[in-house]
C-alpha cells in the first residue's frame, strides 16, 4: 500500500512534467496562491481552501495565474489504501466519497481541514507503531469531511470565454483521439486561427496541442496493452497512430520502455 503526503511551494516559473498521470489517487489542497488545473479535459480554477481529487489514470497538468508563488499539500494513496474503508462502509459509500474532482471547503471549516492535514503529516513521519493505523484513520476522516462539504451549495466558477473555448477544444480532442484530427480542424471548431489556438491552448492547459493528443493516445494504448490481447499494431491503429514505428517511439518517450516490454512487465515500470 502507498501513502505519501508532501507540502511544497512553487513559483510561477515552475513547469509540471511533460506527461502526467499516475496509478494512484492524489488529493491536492491549495494553502495559498492561485492556480489552474486541467483534469482530462475539464478546467478548474483553484483558490486557497480548494481541494482537487485526481483519480488514477486521469491526465492532468497545473498552470499558474495571478500569483507568483503558491503553496500546496499533496496526498497520494493507492486503491489498496482504501481497503479498511471499503470493508466497513462498502464499495458504494467509498466511491461516493471520491465522486467529484473539486471541493471548495467553506472558509469557516478550512482550519479543521488543515488540522487534519497536519495530523497526517505528523503520522507520516512514523512517530511510533500506531502511525500507520492513524494515517488510515485521518485520511478516512478527511475524505468523509470533504464529502460532507460537497453537500453544501458550491458556487460555480465563471471561466473566461476564450478559456471556455479551449476547454471545449480539449473535450473534442479527448473524445476523438482515435481519429486523425488536426490542429487546424480543432481551431476551426472554436473559431480561432490555428496559430492563436496553438498559443492559447498551451497557455491555458500547459500542454502543447500535439503533446496533449499524444498523451491521451498513449494512456489508452497502455491500458489496452495490459487489458486486451490485441496486437501492438492493432492497438496503434485503434489509438490514432497511423504508423506503428511512430507509436513505438512515442510510447517509449512517455513511458520509458517499448510497448512490448511494457506489456510483458504488466506496466510495472
In tens, the pLDDT along 194-234 reads 999 999 999 999 999 999 999 999 999 999 999 999 999 99
* Residue 152: pLDDT over 80: no
* pLDDT at residue number 181: 94
Q: Are residues 165 and 147 in the same domain?
A: no
Q: Are residues 147 and 81 in the same domain?
A: yes
Is 269 a domain residue?
no
For residue 210, the domain's CATH number is 1.10.10.60
Question: What region, left, alpha or beta, does residue 97 occupy, with left being phi > 0 and alpha being psi -120 to 50 degrees?
Answer: alpha
Q: Are residues 147 and 211 in the same domain?
A: no
For residue 71, the domain's CATH number is 2.60.120.280
Is 156 a domain residue?
no
14 Cβ partners below 8 Å, 6+ apart? 64
* Residue 67: pLDDT over 70: no
Q: Are residues 136 and 174 in the same domain?
A: no
Euclidean distance between CA atoms 190 and 58, whole angstroms: 24
Distances, alpha carbon 186 to alpha carbons 31, 121, 143, 168, in Å: 36, 44, 38, 10
Question: What region, left, alpha or beta, does residue 129 occupy, with left being phi > 0 and alpha being psi -120 to 50 degrees?
Answer: alpha
**pLDDT tens column, 36-53:** 999 999 999 999 999 999
Are 16 and 212 in contact by the 8 Å Cβ rule? The answer is no
Q: Are residues 71 and 103 in the same domain?
A: yes
- For the sheet containing 102-104, what is the strand order? 3-11, 69-77, 25-32, 50-54, 102-104
Q: Are residues 193 and 246 in the same domain?
A: yes
* pLDDT at residue number 242: 83
Q: Are residues 172 and 146 in the same domain?
A: no
Q: Are residues 49 and 168 in the same domain?
A: no
Q: Are residues 129 and 257 in the same domain?
A: no
Q: Are residues 120 and 9 in the same domain?
A: yes
| DSSP track, 98-125 | T--SEEE--GGGHHHHHHHHHHHHHHHT
Q: Are residues 17 and 132 in the same domain?
A: yes
Domain count across the chain: 2
Euclidean distance between CA atoms 75 and 62, whole angstroms: 16
* Residue 17: pLDDT over 60: no
Question: What region, left, alpha or beta, does residue 240 occupy, with left being phi > 0 and alpha being psi -120 to 50 degrees?
Answer: left
Q: Are residues 83 and 17 in the same domain?
A: yes
Are 26 and 74 in contact by the 8 Å Cβ rule? The answer is yes
Mean of all residue pLDDT scores within the chain: 90
What is the domain extent for residue 64? 3-151
* pLDDT at residue number 19: 54
Give percent above pLDDT 70 in the chain.
93
Amino acid at each position: 500500500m502507498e501513502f505519501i503526503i508532501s507540502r511544497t511551494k512553487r513559483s510561477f516559473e515552475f513547469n509540471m512534467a511533460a506527461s502526467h498521470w499516475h496509478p494512484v489517487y492524489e488529493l491536492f489542497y491549495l494553502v495559498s496562491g492561485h492556480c489552474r488545473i486541467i483534469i482530462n479535459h475539464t478546467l478548474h480554477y483553484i483558490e486557497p481552501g480548494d481541494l482537487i481529487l485526481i483519480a488514477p489514470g486521469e491526465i492532468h497538468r497545473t498552470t499558474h495565474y495571478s500569483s507568483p508563488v503558491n503553496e500546496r499539500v499533496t496526498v497520494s494513496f493507492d486503491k489498496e489504501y482504501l481497503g479498511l474503508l471499503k470493508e466497513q462502509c462498502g464499495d458504494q459509500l467509498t466511491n461516493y466519497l471520491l465522486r467529484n474532482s473539486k471541493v471548495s471547503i467553506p472558509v469557516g471549516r478550512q482550519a479543521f481541514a488543515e488540522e487534519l492535514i497536519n495530523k497526517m503529516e505528523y503520522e507520516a513521519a512514523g512517530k511510533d507503531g500506531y502511525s500507520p493505523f492513524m494515517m488510515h484513520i485521518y485520511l478516512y476522516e478527511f475524505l468523509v469531511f470533504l464529502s460532507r462539504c460537497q453537500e453544501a451549495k458550491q458556487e460555480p466558477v465563471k471561466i473566461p470565454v476564450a478559456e471556455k473555448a479551449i476547454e471545449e477544444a480539449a473535450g473534442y480532442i479527448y473524445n476523438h483521439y482515435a481519429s486523425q484530427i488536426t490542429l487546424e480542424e480543432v481551431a476551426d471548431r472554436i473559431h480561432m486561427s490555428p496559430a492563436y489556438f496553438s498559443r492559447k491552448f498551451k497557455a491555458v492547459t500547459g500542454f502543447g496541442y500535439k503533446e496533449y493528443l499524444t498523451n491521451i493516445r498513449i494512456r489508452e494504448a497502455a491500458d489496452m496493452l495490459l487489458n486486451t490481447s490485441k496486437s501492438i499494431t492493432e492497438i496503434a491503429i485503434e489509438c490514432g497512430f497511423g504508423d506503428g514505428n511512430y507509436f513505438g517511439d512515442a510510447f517509449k518517450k512517455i513511458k520509458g520502455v517499448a510497448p512490448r516490454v511494457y506489456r510483458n512487465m504488466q506496466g510495472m515500470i
